[in-house]
Amino acid sequence: MATQLLSAAKCKNATSQGAGIRKLHDGDGLYLWVYLDGRKYWRMRYWQAGKEKALSIGVYPQVTLSEARKKHAELRHQLEADLDPSAERKATNLRKKLSAENSFEAVAREWYHKQLHTWTPHHADDVRRRLESNMFPLLGARPLDQIEAPELLQAIRKIEARGSYDLAHRVLQVCGQVFRYGIATGRCTRNLSTDLRGALTPHVKQHQAAVRPEELPDLLRAIARYDEIGDKQTRIALQLLAQTFVRTNELIGAQWVEFDLDNALWVIPAGRMKMKTEHVVPLTRQALALLVELKGLSGGSRYVFPGRNRDKPISGNTMLFALYRLGYKGKMTGHGFRAVASTILNETGFNPDAVERQLAHCERNEIRGAYNRAEYPPAPKRMMQHWADYLDSVGRRLPNRRHNILYW
């Protein structure tokens, strides 16, 4: 290497001496460029394939003289190996960029935003939280194609260590979808979640509590008296939940625009449904009367069940806590109304497929898309009216003279 000409003191005190740029040579192609405004940069000049080239090494004084000489020596080794330092730097930066773009977090977020329009807000929040809380801190920065099965398993087992066995399976399922998306977009070649089958602690799914059919009358009578200990809106919510046996989040998120009262139909948009298919609920005489009562309580909100903030619906726990207050903690949940309706309607002799469709457990191919609501199939309407009448018959009847009907 050529004699080194610079010293720490010379670098510190160097000026451009009135020139736009002054180049201070340190030997073997290393320079300190000093600008008129006092800025100083390290640069290396070299020849490659008969052409003169230059490469930036860093900014002085962030990069000291000794550090600049060390970087310069590394670049000279590349030249001795017939490598172009400029091309090597571009390749390294490209690899870093691709690594960042192909990281588990980057691919997961890309997949997440692709799926977002098909999910309910509640499910979208669950998926995002599962990734951000459990996977990104451990695997987020790792390139997707470099993650190995034991590494993924170690991350999932940290969830298991908290006793969250169900969550561990759900997070692994989400990871599997990310890897499948990675395969489809060329970021990886294997879905590691399939390699972990049988490696997680089995989760015994517990069904949500539901009363037995013979216990339903007492529950209905207790709900009918809820006004004595709670608010009327919650009582009606529980009654409509029993009437329609939709999912709790489908009921609490209901908006008035979804109701066609003239044709006695409630059309829940696909975006709010678990199965991502528009769901139609025939409204019985009893349900219509409850909706009339609710209209006077909604205070002009677009939501059928507005919370304290009229621009938002009630909490998802409102009805569950109401059941607690009625003495049904551990005995009944909002989802339990679906179970008891399914049991009784099937035992009554209704077509099992019709019951499943009304529970929105499958796509409603024969009703999907546009339809004439005035000519909505009569069979579901008959089944729902039978169910409402049955609830009347087993619950305590309370006269409602204004609507000339009986409801609990």
Tell whether 200 is covered by a domain: no
Task: State both tokens at 123.
Answer: 């499910």
Task: State both tokens at 277.
Answer: 């298919």
Residues 108 and 90 in one domain: no
Catalytic pick from 35, 41, 324, 371?
A: 371
Tens-place pLDDT, residues 264-318: 999 999 888 877 788 999 999 999 999 999 988 888 899 999 998 889 999 889 9
Tell whether 69 is covered by a domain: yes
Catalytic pick from 76, 274, 386, 403?
A: 274
Catalytic pick from 12, 23, 310, 361?
A: 361
Domain boundary, last residue among 66, 95, 124: 95
Residue with tokens 């940290």: 158
Tell whether 3 is covered by a domain: no
Given pLDDT bands bounded at 50, 70 and 90, which one contains residue 408?
very low
CA distance 400 to 36: 92
Residues 68 and 170 in one domain: no
CA 329 to chain centre: 29
Active site residue 371: yes
| 288-295 contact pairs (CB < 8 A, 24+) | 288/261, 288/264, 289/400, 289/403, 289/405, 289/407, 290/236, 290/239, 290/240, 290/243, 290/407, 291/240, 291/259, 291/261, 292/403, 293/232, 293/236, 294/233, 294/236, 295/256
Expressed as residue numbers, the domain containing 144 is 104-195
Active site residue 112: no
Is 406 a residue whose pLDDT tops 60? no
| Confidence at residue 109, expressed as pLDDT on a 0 to 100 scale | 94
Is 1 a residue whose pLDDT tops 50? no
Please measure the distance between the N-terminal and C-terminal CA atoms of the chain and give it in whole angstroms. Answer: 97
Tens-place pLDDT, residues 80-126: 777 877 777 776 765 666 555 788 999 999 999 999 988 878 788 88
| Confidence at residue 370, expressed as pLDDT on a 0 to 100 scale | 38
Strand partners, 43: 31, 56
Count CB neighbours of 393 within 10 A: 10
Active site residue 247: yes
Q: Which residues of 218-253 are buried (b: 16+ CB within 10 A; e: fewer)?
A: ebbebbbebeeebeebbbbbbbbbbbbbbbbbbbbb
Domain boundary, last residue among 195, 229, 256: 195
> CATH number, domain at 68?
3.30.160.390
Tens-place pLDDT, residues 32-89: 999 999 999 999 988 877 788 888 888 999 999 999 999 998 888 888 777 877 777 7
Instruction: Compute the mean pLDDT over every residue in the chain, rounded to the nearest whole number.
Output: 85
Tens-place pLDDT, residues 216-239: 999 999 999 999 999 999 999 999
Residues 258 and 401 in one domain: yes
CA distance 286 to 257: 20
Active site residue 335: yes
| Confidence at residue 94, expressed as pLDDT on a 0 to 100 scale | 57
Active site residue 274: yes
Task: State both tokens at 400.
Answer: 């409602």
> CATH number, domain at 302?
1.10.443.10
Please enumerate in sequence order all residues whose Cβ is within 8 A of that of 371, keeping only pairs 6 or more positions apart, or say none. Answer: none
Is 366 a residue whose pLDDT tops 50? no
CA distance 287 to 21: 84
Active site residue 357: no
CA distance 295 to 4: 88
For 353-363, what is the mean pLDDT?
80
Residues 372 and 248 in one domain: yes
Catalytic pick from 338, 357, 376, 407?
A: 338
* Total count of domains within the chain: 3
Tell whether 56 is covered by a domain: yes
Residues 243 and 304 in one domain: yes
| Confidence at residue 186, expressed as pLDDT on a 0 to 100 scale | 84
In the chain, the amino acid numbered 180 is R
Residues 166 and 219 in one domain: no
> CATH number, domain at 191?
1.10.150.130
| Confidence at residue 98, expressed as pLDDT on a 0 to 100 scale | 55
Residues 264 and 136 in one domain: no
- Phi-psi region at 204: left, alpha or beta (left = phi > 0; alpha = psi -120 to 50): beta
The C-alpha R_g of the chain, in whole angstroms, comes to 34
Is 184 a residue whose pLDDT tops 50? yes
Catalytic pick from 335, 364, 381, 403?
A: 335
Catalytic pick from 40, 247, 272, 279?
A: 247
Given pLDDT bands bounded at 50, 70 and 90, which one contains residue 400?
very low
